[in-house]
A and B are shown apart, each in its own frame.
Chain A
Amino acid sequence: MKIGIVVFPGSNCDHDAQHALSEILHTSAEFIWHQSPDLTGFDAVILPGGFAYGDYLRTGAIARFSPVMIAIARFVRCGGLVLGICNGFQILCEAGLLPGALMRNKGLRFVCRHLHIRVETTATPFTSAARPGQVLRVPIAHAEGNYVCDAATLAGLKHNNQIIFRYCTPDGRLNPATNPNGSLDAIAGICNRERNVMGMMPHPERAVEAALGSIDGLVVFRSLVQSLARQPAAAVS
């Protein structure tokens, strides 16, 4: 099993994702340069956090044109698992692989802190090892995490059970005060209709060791690894 971590110019959580996968979960994780046109040999792909191309124009707006994104779109069509974290989530939205968009935080400032998110569904390859309703303590670190979409899209997300994480209180209740960025419906993470692409603003790779203040992010990577073990993504290549 081999998981690829895409390195765009300006990605800066690539090493952290690799550390979580290889040092903590003992899973093979390799970097994929953004100009790589093919993903042969990879069973899943992570788009890590950072500031691809500096995010000067609009988050992800340039990164979506990197050659690797063509390969990723093909990978997704073939059922490959793709996880976008923070900037990765923004890029997946820009690339049209996930619906909606991420706008500037309601407070118009970068926010970095630990908070709580609730697992809204375990019926994805990224949350299958979690308990339904489980509350995870994970950090966010972004200036553009305010999820928006139109009413029809939101209805679709709800109807198809595509909302995966919502910001919540430590005991799992929804409360406007715990929404850190103004996201529609307190959305912290979603998946596509086919459930093989997930984007989330919080950083699970920063919550994989007690020394970092939380191990709650592990469940995302465990789910991914277990899902791959159950059904190898042979279809992809």
Chain B
Amino acid sequence: MSHAARTPSIVETAIKVTPEIVADHGMTPEEYARIRKILGREPNFTELGIFSVMWSEHCSYKSSRIHLKRLPTRAPQVLQGPGENAGVVDVGDGLAAVFKMESHNHPSYVEPFQGAATGVGGILRDVFTMGARPIAVLDSLRFGTITSDNGAAPEVVARNRRLVDGVVRGIAFYGNCFGVPTVGGEVEFEPSYAGNPLVNVLALGIAPKNQLFFARARGEGNPVIYVGAKTGRDGIHGASLLASAEFTEKSQEKRPNVQVGDPFLAKLLLEACLEAMATGAIVAIQDMGAAGLTSSSCEMASRGGVGIEIELDRVPQRETGMTAYEMMLSESQERMLLVAERGREAEVFHVFRKWGLDAVEIGRVTSDGMLRVEHHGQIDAQIPANALAEQAPVYQRPIAPPKPSLACDARVALSTAGADLTSNFRRLLTASAIASKRWIFEQYDHMVRTNTTVFPGAADAAVVRLKGTTRALALATDGKGRWCALDPRAGAMHAVAEAARNVAAVGARPWAATNCLNFGNPEKPEVMWQFSVAVDGMAEACRGLSIPITGGNVSFYNDTLGKSIDPTPIVGVLGVIENAAATLTMAFRNEGDAIVLLDGRADSTRATSSGPRERESLREFASSEYARTIAGIVGGAPPAADIPAELRLIEALVGLAADNILASAHDLSDGGIAVALAECGFASDGLTAEAAWHTDAPAELALFAETGARAVVSVPQPSLARLQTLAAQYKIAALVIGRVTRGYFQVSLNGVTIIRDHADSLREVWSGAIERAVLNEPAPKQT
């Protein structure tokens, strides 16, 4: 470093900082005053830019921070909670699971292919920067409707289809080339996402637990090394202007703010980083994601309680004439910043040269706590690193519940007792929430690395084994915006409960969770209320189920033309299967097996024919997929979340799986028991269900209600008695409702057949609906 670094004379930038420029950076006058106070002077243009990205909502969590504190984050298995690049939990056998979920919503709307691709790239870097090799990716996607039966305008439906196609191709492009299997996730289609789709990506990596890497710089004089792709002008202000503001008519003009992904380079970067880490010469490392060079340098310095000075002339650049401002704010992809042990730089350079990547010493660790940026021999910025990373303003934004909507009173008109519901059921199977997602997941390589033992669509959760051990990890994501719109607290509780139930249904014990909280503009009191109560619901459910949250992401400003999306907290739950051989899927296995409905509420008598219980059940039913698809109603209230019942069911599912007595297990969600029974058949080798039971409830409620804490399992007849004994021990109800058969799918209630159709015909409508909708092809004729 030149001598100038010691003299604190900051260069005057050509562009002067004015109140208008401050506002253009998305900063308030109060925030600007705070900067002046921290610096003890006016910032120059470069410094303003640096503050604006680090203090953006996206990077600083300034609106959400006080609420996020209420989430449980501690547990004995947690090795690293929120605050690092990803969360880390101990999964046994000396291994650590490194995982996190992140959103890339706005970029994916502006440019679906690259937006989704770089969303995958960003979260993969977060995982491998900690020394973990990524072994699985899941995607939680939300789009506007892709069929016009709900009265959506043709041009909106057409645009939604293009978004689905672009996002899916983008995810496939990045993940397939990088060599990480995309093993699961979920997708829903609701009108509220038409102007603001959600692309949330979860990545899981695995590392020996004593070989983790952290983003904490240390050691005065240690070299700061830039590795990976060259810096360009792409993605400047991605974090502050794209991710931290609402959409307007002019959003397409933001396309240059979207980064461009290069999965091949990321693959090289992965291999080179893991190889360089193995040399032992690396002290700290962080990826350059949002706010690129700025965030990686000041966060590493701040966490380590040191300073970092960098010389921008040495940064590999792919364009000429870039200013300090542009370089510090660029979000060019596939770059990392690392701190090496002084004297061992050559070992690091050697590895990166082998992989054909740039690796350049651009600065060093100092002891003064400053982020100092030099360019053309002058100091362009000098800011306390801690002020950037930790002293962003924290807002307690106003909170106000929205006015109750009329839809709360919506009710589904039920059919007469004994009516045949077969044609309604067929329609329900084509609903985009329920129809097979095969067309999507077949575009993803879900097998590379040969760890995937449960493929997408085969079970409620994806399962990847851990080679060299007897263990496997299960992962599921969930979150229902429609329910959260009606009741954010209950909706968030269900998101946790369902993801945990999904993981338990394959036999895994829920172990830890990550989240991605997608909401509208936090400056609207109703949105902030939704956020606050959703966090409360999530915290209560996680506490009740003993699932710590180890990190995640908040995405605000999901608004287009002033209208917010349905509040959509997505939860990703990681589970551990001790004995991978005991993994369960939803597929029926043997003709003649008994089909049993498990219910976490042992005294399960809900949905009786009279009294307040039925009124409540009808209210809940108005929020179901059946109500939406068949009755065209979106309203009512989500089912009451019963966390103790969920816990009993989860304990039972995990215990029964380990006991090896079940042939299959599938939790109940969209479309209730009827859809779950059909899906167990669709996943199987030509088997289906013949079910009959007695109930006091109206047929639609009995078959299609989406009450939680339930699962259907199949069990060989000789094990049925033992299943019932164990169910009693777990204090859950186990009602035999049918048997596994071939040919016709049939459900009867109280001795009357309500649904009967050939399983192959049902499978046909179910399996092709998404593909037909996205590609706008006609439906097959009803058989």
Contacts and interface: CB of A to CB of B under 8 A. Distances in A.
Interface of A: 9-10, 12-13, 15-16, 19-20, 23, 49-51, 53-56, 109-113, 139, 141, 143, 203, 205-206, 208-209, 211-213
Contact of A110 (B176, B178, B179, B449): B176
B264 interface: yes
Given A9-B355, A54-B263, A206 B447 contact: yes
Contacts of A54: 177, 262-265
B443 A110 contact: yes
CB-CB nearest 9 A-B residue pairs: A12-B179, A54-B264, A51-B177, A141-B445, A16-B450, A112-B445, A211-B453, A110-B443, A110-B172
A112 B267 contact: no
Nearest to B441: A112
B450 A206 contact: yes
A13 B448 contact: yes
A13 B268 CA distance: 14
A59 B492 CA distance: 45
Given A54-B177, A211-B465, A109 B443 contact: yes
B446 interface: yes
Contact of B268 (A9, A110, A113, A143): A9
B644 interface: no
B580 A211 contact: yes
B442 interface: yes
A12 B268 contact: no
Contacts of A20: 450
A112 B264 contact: no
Given A9-B264, A211-B580, 8 more contacts: A12-B177, A16-B448, A16-B449, A16-B450, A19-B467, A110-B444, A209-B450, A213-B453
B529 interface: no
Contacts of B177: 10, 12, 51, 54-55
29 contacts: A9-B264, A9-B267, A9-B355, A9-B356, A10-B267, A12-B179, A12-B448, A13-B448, A16-B448, A50-B179, A51-B177, A54-B177, A54-B262, A54-B264, A54-B265, A55-B177, A55-B264, A110-B176, A111-B442, A112-B176, A112-B443, A112-B444, A141-B445, A141-B448, A203-B447, A209-B450, A211-B465, A212-B447, A212-B450
A212 B178 CA distance: 21
Contacts of B452: 212
A213 B371 CA distance: 53
B32 interface: no
Nearest to B268: A9
Contacts of A110: 172, 176, 443-445
Nearest to A13: B448
Contacts of B744: none
Contacts of A111: 442-443
Contacts of B453: 211-213
Nearest to B262: A54
Interface string B430-471: 000000000001111111111011010000000001010000
A54 B176 CA distance: 10
B450 A12 contact: no
Contacts of B450: 16, 19-20, 205-206, 208-209, 212
B178 A12 contact: yes
B312 to A, nearest CB: 28
A139 B447 contact: yes
B447 A141 contact: yes
A110 B441 CA distance: 10
Contacts of B443: 109-112
Contacts of B179: 12-13, 50-51
Contacts of A211: 453, 465, 580-581
Contacts of A203: 447
A55 B263 CA distance: 11
A15 B468 CA distance: 14
Nearest to B451: A212
A113 to B, nearest CB: 5
A139 B446 CA distance: 10
A53 B263 CA distance: 10
A60 B151 CA distance: 48
B442 A112 contact: yes
A51 B531 CA distance: 42
Contacts of A109: 169, 172, 443
B444 A10 contact: no
Interface in B150-177: 169, 172, 176-177
A141 B264 contact: no
B176 A141 contact: yes
Nearest to B172: A110
A211 B169 CA distance: 29
Contacts of A23: 467
A51 B198 CA distance: 28
Interface in B506-538: none
A212 B356 CA distance: 34
Contact of B176 (A9, A51, A206): A51
A10 B447 contact: no
A10 B172 CA distance: 15
Contacts of B441: 112
Interface string B345-367: 00000000001100000000000
A9 B357 CA distance: 11
Contact of B446 (A53, A112, A208): A112
A55 B177 CA distance: 9
A20 B177 CA distance: 21
Nearest to A17: B450
Contacts of A16: 448-450
Nearest to B452: A212
Contacts of B445: 110, 112, 141
A205 B447 CA distance: 11
B424 to A, nearest CB: 31
User: Looking at B442, B449, B452, which has the most chain A CB atoms within 10 Å of its CB?
Assistant: B442
Interface in B460-511: 465, 467
Contacts of A113: 442
A51 B173 CA distance: 11
Nearest to B581: A211
Contacts of A55: 177, 264
A206 to B, nearest CB: 5
A33 B304 CA distance: 37
Nearest to A141: B445
Name, among B169, B265, B449, B467, the residue most crowded by chain A CB atoms within 10 Å (CB to CB): B449
B442 A10 contact: no
A96 B472 CA distance: 42
